[in-house]
Amino acid sequence: MNLEKAGIPTVCVITTAFQSIAEGQQRALGYPELPFVMLEHPVAVATEDEIEEKVEAIYSDLVRHLTDTPFSGAEVNDGTATSAPVTPSKDLGPFDEAIVPIRKMLQADGADLALTSRENGRLTMQLIFLENVCEECILPREALAEMIQTAYLSFGQEVSEVILRDPREEG
């Protein structure tokens, strides 16, 4: 965004699993028109040839946004996102809506969240690995916990701390 402010055409490149989060960040940071293009998810475990195919698929959109479309009138590329379904979870209760984008991202990588306790603004959650999990694709525990807390706060929920139990750290 600093590049765009300096007059340098800018396009964000994300994977399809991060579409909801990218759109939220665009709005939160005051750049709802900043264009982005989406690579098919995942990329962390993709081979070099697979990455090349993914980049070839977005190349023309990327060039178009950088050369033809001024920022003030840019359209957000809807791409072909195929987000994993997020089903309401009785375990998460009324907070579910706040973290739907995070759960979609996690589900795209074969994981999910479960609320294990909530008291005095402190949430304890468990990161759950589902079938075909891509452990390397999932953000580190600290970053994920911060993202969850930020999501709750943006929905007006009083959350002072998120403790996230991560099976990657359990021995």
Q: What is the CATH number of the domain that holds 99?
A: 3.30.300.130
Number of domains in the chain: 2
- Show the tokens assigned to 57: 């698929």
Domain termination site, one of 26, 45, 73: 73
Using the predicted structure, report yes or no on whether residue 78 has a pLDDT greater than 50. no
Q: Are strands 111-119 and 122-129 parallel, antiparallel or unpaired?
A: antiparallel
Among the listed residues 26, 131, 126, the one whose alpha carbon sits nearest the alpha carbon of residue 76: 26
Does 123 map to a domain?
A: yes
Strand partners, 164: 125
pLDDT confidence of residue 166: 94
78 lies in a domain? no
Residue 24: CA count within 13 A, CB half-sphere: 14
pLDDT in tens, 93-124: 555 678 888 888 888 888 888 888 888 889 99
Which one has a higher pLDDT value, 87 or 28? 28
Query: What's the rounded Cα separation, in Å, for the pair 65 and 9?
Result: 8
Return d(Cα 34, Cα 163) in angstroms, integer: 33
Final residue of a structural domain among 16, 42, 73? 73
- Answer yes or no: do 68 and 98 share one domain: no
For residue 81, the model assigns a pLDDT of 30
108 and 142 together in one domain: yes
Task: Tell me the whole-structure pTM to 2 decimals.
Answer: 0.52
> Kind and range of the H or E element at 149?
helix 141-154
Q: What is the pLDDT of residue 84?
A: 38
For residues 161 and 109, membership in a common domain is answered with: yes
Q: Mind listing the pLDDT tens digit for each residue in 151-164?
A: 888 778 888 999 99
- Residues 111 and 138: beta-carbon distance below 8 Å: yes
Residues 68 and 97 in one domain: no
SS3 113: strand
Tell me whether residue 52 is in a domain.
yes
- One domain for residues 69 and 119: no
Percent of the chain with pLDDT over 70: 77
Q: Which domain holds residue 160?
A: 93-165
CA angle, 25 as apex, 11 and 16 as ends, to 5°?
65
User: Range with the lowest mean pLDDT among 3-12, 105-114, 137-146?
Assistant: 3-12
Measured in Å, how far apart are the chain's first and last C-alpha atoms?
Answer: 41
**pLDDT exceeds cutoff 70 at 126:** yes
> Average pLDDT, whole number, for the chain?
77
Distance of CA 134 to the CA centre of its chain: 15
Q: Give the model's pLDDT for residue 158.
A: 85
Together in a domain, 14 and 67: yes
**How many other β-carbons are positioned within 10 Å of the β-carbon of residue 35?**
22
